[in-house]
Structure 1
Amino acid sequence: MSLFDFFKKTDKVGRDSAIDSNELVEGSEQTESKDKVSTKLSFHPDWNVPQEQQYVFRFLANELKPLNPNQLSLAAISIDEEPRSGDWLVKAFFRSSIPNSIELGEIELILLDKDDQLIASKPFNFNELGTIPPESARPWVFTFEKSLIDGKDIPDEGWKIAFNLISLRDHMLDLDETWKNQLPKEQQEILAKVIKDLPKLSKNEVNFTGFQVKLHDNQSLHVSIFIRNGHNKVINLEQLPLEIIDANGKLIAKGSFKLDPILSVQPNSTKPWTFIFPAELVTAEDADLSRWAARVPQ
């Protein structure tokens, strides 16, 4: 089966996912026009498209709605399942309404269902699409491997393929409202800088990094940690078992915290939180807190 056989006369253009071009192409040329832009069909220069298939592509391209100026977009077409591997072959138009040609590198894309719930995510090398002409629409097939789909069925309608803007932005401070109200702006800015300087998380990594500890006179231990979320979706914590280890590797506190309300950490973000171990959960005699670590027991 050739690449062009994936595009059928029965295909229809679905949801469009458009963003401002500056989100992906820093300093891209911008038009001052306010007029909508109708994108022109563009094929990869290495494609030798049969005449009959060109009609299919033109029919689909004619269904595309005009974009606002200075946008990049992914317009969903359809999804086929590769019979042997079970991989999903996601057909879409990559569209540009900016007035100059562009070339892009690696960008993470996400598949969302009709309720905008995440189905799958994967980074793609957009260099493979070649140079995208001004104000154009280029058809492409994006392959999402079966292992990324997690047993989900192909959605019937309303799904979309989109740029994962969360993965493009810097890791951010996710400050709870109670912390925002209590911390002066200067301290909030210090926290944001500390988080920016922490080692980069792996994709989908959740990490617990201690940053402040104090043993009170009543022998309760107050521990502040960074809850770091490398996922591209929110994580919700209802119960958190936690252990504190001092500089000598000694276990000085151990407990399990019920979080009510649930503690949510936004995608690609770090949330600071303080946990208080009551005295009966603390064995801090002769503890060396010059260095310490927080860990979640398995």
Structure 2
Amino acid sequence: MGLFSFFRKSDKVGKDSTVDSKAVLGGGKKGQISTQKQEVYTKLSFHPDWNVPQEQQYVFNFLANDLEPLKPNQLSLAAINIEEDAATGAWNVKAFFRSSLNQPIELKDIDLFVTAEDGTVLAKQSFDFTQLGTIPAESARPWVFTFHKDSLLTDEIPGEGWKIAFNLVSLRGHQLDLDTQWEKQLSNDQKEELRKIVKELPKLRDKEVNFTGIQHVKMDNGSLAITLLIRNGNDRDINLEQLPLEVVDANDTVVATGTFKLDPVIVVKANTSKPWTFVYPADLTTNLADADFTRWAARVPQK
């Protein structure tokens, strides 16, 4: 495999980025190791399809000997080196993927970061971990994670102290984010119904912010109240201070439009959906009585 050519005797193991395995595998007990064990020294593991030359085995063993022990029940990415592909501009990030679990594990899609020593995110991309194969218990598997050019947030390869790390925000899945007042006022059944809606909605694109209508009420005084899920596909919180919104009915006719000044600011946490209600006074609605609300949407007006 061409992968072997990336690893050299001159390479050095850098910083580890470790997480509790529950953050990746979920909250079940599968694969947890005994809490009586204080340290776990991971053993070098090769993909079963690899035919590793003797000289290359020496290189891998040399690198693996520098790995620090893990605590029980951890997954880790140990940085080695980054090489830029001259043809494509991609970064080939060399690392060990490690597990201190006492059982083999198989993983699926996981978002990874490359961060500078100060924590600045330099690259972000999703990887199919099924390609790594089954990871044996208490093992370290060398791998090259290729971050494509369009996933890079800088043109400069970082110096010492960089890490390759799991994106824990994406690992937890998209969740419901309730404001304190909503938390107090909603019943457990209502909260569960909102969680179900959030779970069943289509997955957001990276950095997408989406408004999904979940309820509308036409008032006797001619005003319109709409309840939306503000969906944040970013890996960082967003703050909404002012929000222009228009409501369109099933015929794509604008039936309400206005700009909401939000005080206090609405904070929507990373990778969450927050429900919020907006009320349009009668003077901001149009032909509300004739509107077809069999299907409707709220959106930011296009200039």
Structure 2-normalised TM-score?
Answer: 0.85
Residue of structure 2 in register with 1:138 after alignment: 141
**How far apart are the structure 2 equivalents of 1:264 and 1:10?**
47
Closer, same or farther: CA 159–256 of 1 in aligned 2, 3 Å: farther
Closer, same or farther: CA 247–45 of 1 in aligned 2, 3 Å: closer
Closer, same or farther: CA 166–9 of 1 in aligned 2, 3 Å: same
Residue of structure 2 in register with 1:4 after alignment: 4
Provide the alpha-carbon RMSD of the alignment.
2.7
Residue of structure 2 in register with 1:17 after alignment: 17
Aligned 8 A contact 1:252 1:287 in 2:
no
**How far apart are the structure 2 equivalents of 1:263 and 1:107?**
29
Residue of structure 2 in register with 1:86 after alignment: 89
Q: Could you tell me the percent identity over the aligned residues?
A: 58
Shift of 1:285: 4.4
1:282 aligns with 2:289: no
Shift of 1:96: 1.2
SS in 1 for 2:86: coil
**How far apart are the structure 2 equivalents of 1:45 and 1:89?**
22
**How far apart are the structure 2 equivalents of 1:49 and 1:196?**
44
Shift of 1:79: 1.2
Closer, same or farther: CA 234–117 of 1 in aligned 2, 3 Å: farther
Residue of structure 1 in register with 2:71 after alignment: 68
**Residue 31 of structure 1 aligns to which amino acid in structure 2?**
I
Shift of 1:294: 1.0
Match of 1:28 among 27, 30, 40: 30
Closer, same or farther: CA 131–222 of 1 in aligned 2, 3 Å: closer
Residue of structure 2 in register with 1:174 after alignment: 177
**Residue 92 of structure 1 aligns to which amino acid in structure 2?**
A
SS in 2 for 1:190: helix
SS in 2 for 1:286: helix
Residue of structure 1 in register with 2:276 after alignment: 273
Shift of 1:160: 1.9
Deviates more, 1:35-44 or 1:189-198: 189-198
Closer, same or farther: CA 102–188 of 1 in aligned 2, 3 Å: closer
Aligned 8 A contact 1:221 1:278 in 2:
yes
**How far apart are the structure 1 equivalents of 2:284 and 2:107?**
54
Residue of structure 2 in register with 1:193 after alignment: 196
Deviates more, 1:108-117 or 1:142-151: 108-117
Residue of structure 2 in register with 1:214 after alignment: 217
**How far apart are the structure 1 equivalents of 2:253 and 2:104?**
60
Residue of structure 2 in register with 1:297 after alignment: 301
**How far apart are the structure 2 equivalents of 1:129 and 1:136?**
12
Residue of structure 1 in register with 2:128 after alignment: 125
Shift of 1:152: 4.1
Deviates more, 1:42-51 or 1:246-255: 42-51
Aligned 8 A contact 2:122 2:154 in 1:
no
Match of 1:229 among 228, 232, 241: 232
Aligned 8 A contact 2:42 2:140 in 1:
yes
Deviates more, 1:107-116 or 1:33-42: 107-116
